[in-house]
Structure 1
């Protein structure tokens, strides 16, 4: 036994020496192999961590910041989200890059049919930019007044129509590609040559990696590297310990030629320590074996009853082990998730009569809503998320988390949900009986004529109140539209559908994320530069206000191409002093002076909400205050004068100016 233990110990010692030699070789080389900087041409020189060259080891830089150099053209490129970008400028101090899609350096048309997108875990937009949308296979001959430019494209794609943000519906155009570039004025049709230059000029992005740890590493004499597994910066040192947060300042640097000597000394010391530990373990092992042999002899000489007692388990043993619930028990019936009740799928199937199609209340972008009756007598609406929606789990958790923490009289109440581990993801809301605002404006309930002007004003005020509360609670709805505004039997509002909503930290100016929402309601500045702010909801609400005074849909392909988007149509008519052509005739605009005043002031407020630049839009609280003032006929004198001018000589709203008033002029 002793010989076997000695052989085992010897084997362990040999393995340690082999491991220590290999590990030491690897660690010591980290410092030397990450000594290179990247240079390519005259503009991109001396670039170090977090970037690395394509020929450098992976651990020398971030996996998303790999630079390549074309020796023939001295052009620097990098790969991002499956596309190749030309790196035009780099400023390490501000951590900014100016980049352009590689294929647009030689052609105004993108050759790769993929949208420009950022990896937002690494990058953010650094300055003003513009997203240009190339539309292919469009079924109209002239781009018209929507500022679209026809561009001749080589290859099989055919000619493209390009717009800065106006999006023709896909029924008109077959395919589209979004390409980011420099910001251009859009008060006139785009020039194809200028468009090409804007794309070649590129756009600025910022890499978001923390730089302090690398600065500390360099100050201590180390070189920065990247831990792929832990996703963090490491410090490679020229002496032991080779990998640390910072190199020991008191240790003198060891030249590469003396590394082997230091390695040998380290191995000898480590081997001696291991040998000492091994000998101690061997002595202890032998002593324990002697005790076991003596104990075995004592047991064999004891009585049979004693042997039986030693072999039997304690009668109280099972009670001494605590009983832990199954991990799935938190999601059983009667439990809660984010503070809301968790229902079983079976219970909700029974409540909806197995999702009977006759009980379907609505069909949205993320799921179908059914009428349900719970066993406790509550009438509910059950949303069944689509199984083919790959983001359904994310939207499910997002909506539960947000609605569980928010309480407001004009927000829909979430009663509960199924477990996120369930086969079906179901959300259970209070039942709101009177349909949506969209239903009453231009849907199946539009002919009822129940939405009088005072009720529409009530809807506007209550919706603004709900959105203002969301913004105070650091939440952006991101899908404000009339089909997401429910009405009860007294026409009071319940804002619903928080699947796209985002919690918005109070210490940031925007959240960078790919544009999402419903066509016709999406903030154009958000669409251009992927920067979501509270003002994105304000823009969408401006479209809702126009819907309330016009009873028209946000997008309607049956209208003239200049008027397909209701927001464009409204801005044009307000600026051209033809508001009367926009307003629903049933509201008494032409026959009642009070209605004229109210509708005109609402249109002016909507005009401000629909400004292209977010800084020109009022806040949601200012919108709420303005609507309450209009509702209470608490308008100041100059606004009444504007109405009189409008009706008296058709001089029009915002007379003599196409520039909207500052938000500071809001009541």
Structure 2
């Protein structure tokens, strides 16, 4: 027989015989809640209390750390939302990088690489992510140097290969085709005295250039940093000058299109561990058609090194680089900076200071003491002559870069011959010193030929004077 009377049984439980308020104030320590992120509430069936985890937390409120975190469903919801946002953000970034890649001539460069096969095999188009990782997101600790055109960072790839990344400040969108042409040309240059361009990154607003990393700093550091252990010897200075001129002559005369560097200065000459010079930073460089000798352009360069005729007329020629090299030669000879407030107002500019000293027979007073000795006076005078010729105001009066390179190469060969021939006769030595290395001659003076000869003899006397005094 079925019982028609049915009852529902509800099992309820609670803690103690106090309300939440009384339990919290109980000095016997019977308060049962152990977990952070939990709430106490009074039972509906009597003066007892219960606990649950606070909103957004889940677990056992009666044990220590029993309500550790948010609910699984909420966690899934948050993670899902974050993934969607990250996906949207990444998609937007990819589209932006694709836009920059096209704006910066990426398709043009890719097409050229495909069409020219092995001749462009060393050219690499780096991704933005690749370079960010290599520079630790362009960390300030990776900065190698900063200049008017941008910042250079040191990058390290996963295989520990080091390279330098130039991040320019500005990019003229109207010159993108010119930029790509220069990238194509520079990646094909293989000269031991030109820093090798390895590739570029076009996925950023301003294109990034990637160069080989040179280990020993700039020529400027070696000339002007007194904290260095030992100054450059005359032999190293002549070697460096020769290598710079050789590289620039190559750019002017031996590439498929002549390249004017336009910013030759000691900070743009890098040295490796063997003090081999490497011409760097082609950010201001311009290509010139084979049938052109000059182009009109906005004046760019660095004060102190800037060709005055180019500055006044805007007419850029290969001789503009010659003038800048003349300033670098003056730096190597004197140890003075291109612009210095430590010199009198009239002679803040090194070019003026140097030429004036030569004209007034004061050269001995401005040459660095340790670079000359009895054995190198004649080669030293020839380099002084050459530097002064490079610094002539009219570009027509300056030698070509090829002539400068040949002159320096001849002087260096002569000195190497003398260094290797200690038992050489006096007659042989005098013959080598008298023999010109080039058919042209730049007079040491500025006036007539007679005053030039007198100035020449006067400088010899000045240079010999410390030796006669036994100093």
Shorter-chain TM-score category?
Answer: 0.5 to 0.7
Alpha carbons of 1:576 and 1:381: their partners in 2 closer, same or farther (altered >3 Å)? same
Question: In structure 2, what is the Cα distance between the partners aligned to 1:372 and 1:520?
Answer: 31
Greater percentage in helix: 2
- The answer to whether the Cα contact below 8 Å between 2:189 and 2:196 also exists between their aligned partners in 1 is no
Match of 1:629 in 2: 410
Residue pairs, 1:63-82, within 5 angstroms? none
| Distance (Å, rounded) in 2 between the aligned partners of 1:639 and 1:403 | 35
CA distance in 2, matches of 1:423, 1:525: 35
Q: Contact (CA 8 Å) 1:554, 1:565: kept in 2 or not? A: yes
2-structure distance, mates of 1:382, 1:350: 12
1:455 aligns with 2:236: yes
Report how far residue 415 of structure 1 moved: 1.1
Q: Distance in 2 between matches of 1:360 and 1:392?
A: 26
TM-superposed CA distance for 1:653, in Å, is 9.2
> 1:76-119: CA deviations, max 9, x gaps?
xxxxxxxxxxxxxxxxxxxxxxxxxxxxxxxxxxxxxxxxxxxx
Q: Distance in 2 between matches of 1:350 and 1:528?
A: 45
In the TM superposition, what is the alpha-carbon distance from 1:636 to its structure 2 partner?
A: 4.5
Contact kept, 8 Å, 1:399 with 1:497, in 2: the verdict is no
8 Å contact kept, 1:351–1:374: yes
**Residue 436, structure 1, aligned to residue 214, structure 2:** no
Local SS of the residue matching 1:536: helix
| 2:346 aligned partner | 562
Once the two structures are superposed, residues 391-426 of structure 1 have per-residue CA deviations (whole angstroms, 9 ceiling, x without a partner) of 48848646524412322111101111111x424532
**Correspondence for 1:538 among 286, 311, 322:** 322
In structure 2, how many angstroms separate the alpha carbons of the residues matched to 1:451 and 1:336?
A: 46
Query: Can you give the 5+ residue segments of structure 1 that lack an aligned partner in the other structure?
Result: 1-325, 641-645, 647-651, 659-667
Partner residue in 2 for 1:528: 312
Equivalent position of 1:344 in the other structure? 127
Tell me by how many angstroms 1:390 deviates.
Answer: 5.1
Indicate if the aligned counterparts of 1:415 and 1:430 stay in contact, CA closer than 8 A. Answer: yes
User: Counterpart in 2 of 1:106?
Assistant: none
**8 Å contact from structure 1 (residues 574, 653) kept in 2:** no
The answer on whether the counterparts of 2:261 and 2:286 sit within 8 Å (CA) in structure 1 is: yes
Report the counterpart of residue 586 of structure 1 in structure 2: 370
Which residue pairs with 1:422 in the alignment? 204
Which residue does the alignment assign to 1:548? Answer: 332
Equivalent residue number for residue 376 of structure 2: 595
How far, CA to CA, are the matches of 2:223 and 2:287 in structure 1?
30
Superposition deviation, residue 597 in structure 1: 2.2
1:413/1:433 CA distance change after superposition, 3 Å: same
Quick one: distance in 1 between partners of 2:381 and 2:227?
Answer: 23
Give 2:22's aligned residue: none
Q: Which aligned pairs between 1:346-385 and structure 2 lie closer than 5 A? A: 346-385=129-168
Aligned residues: 316
Q: How does 1:398-417 map to 2 (within 5 A)?
A: 399-417=182-200
Is the alpha carbon distance of 1:392 and 1:581 closer, same or farther for their aligned partners in structure 2, counting shifts above 3 Å? farther
Among 274, 277, 297, the alignment partner of 1:493 is 277
2:447 maps to none
Deviation readout 1:487-522 (Å, 9 max, x if unpaired): 001000110111111111121221111221110111
Do 2:171 and 2:207's aligned partners in 1 also have CA atoms closer than 8 Å?
Answer: no
Question: Does the Cα contact within 8 Å between 1:479 and 1:500 map onto a contact in 2?
Answer: yes
The answer to whether the Cα contact below 8 Å between 2:262 and 2:320 also exists between their aligned partners in 1 is yes
**8 Å CA contact 1:335, 1:341 repeated in 2:** no
- Structure number with greater Rg is 2
- 1:571 matched residue in structure 2: 355
Q: Deviations over 1:598-627 (max 9, x none)?
A: 222111110111111111111111111111
Gaps of 5+ in 2: 1-97, 114-119, 416-431, 438-443, 445-449, 457-471
Distance 1:391 1:551 in 2: 36
* Structure 1 residues 345 and 358: alpha-carbon distance in aligned structure 2, compared to 1, 3 A threshold: same
The aligned runs of 1:278-289 (5 Å cut-off) are none
CA contact (8 A) 1:349 1:355 kept: yes
1: CA distance between counterparts of 2:290 and 2:174? 26
- Secondary structure in 2 aligned to 1:516? coil
Secondary structure of the 1:384 match is strand
Shift of the 392–382 alpha-carbon distance from structure 1 to 2, 3 Å rule, reads farther
Q: Distance in 1 between matches of 2:296 and 2:362?
A: 38
Counterpart mapping for 1:47-58 below 5 A: none
Match of 1:70 in 2: none
SS in 2 for 1:407: coil
Please give the secondary structure, in 2, of the residue aligned with 1:654.
helix
1:504 is matched with which residue: 270, 288, 298?
288
Distance 1:501 1:438 in 2: 20
Does residue 654 of the first structure (1) align with residue 463 of the second (2)?
Answer: no
Q: Deviations over 1:7-45 (max 9, x none)?
A: xxxxxxxxxxxxxxxxxxxxxxxxxxxxxxxxxxxxxxx
1:368 offset after TM fit, Å? 1.0
* TM-score relative to the length of structure 1: 0.44
Secondary structure of residue in 1 paired with 2:167: strand
The 5 Å alignment of 1:123-142 reads none
Distance in 1 separating the partners of 2:370 and 2:433:
26
In 1, Cα distance between equivalents of 2:227 and 2:272: 16
Distance 1:567 1:639 in 2: 25
Q: Whole-Å Cα distance in 2 between the matches of residues 553 and 394 of structure 1?
A: 33
Say which SS state the counterpart of residue 376 (structure 2) adopts.
helix
User: Partner of 2:192: helix, strand, or coil?
Assistant: coil
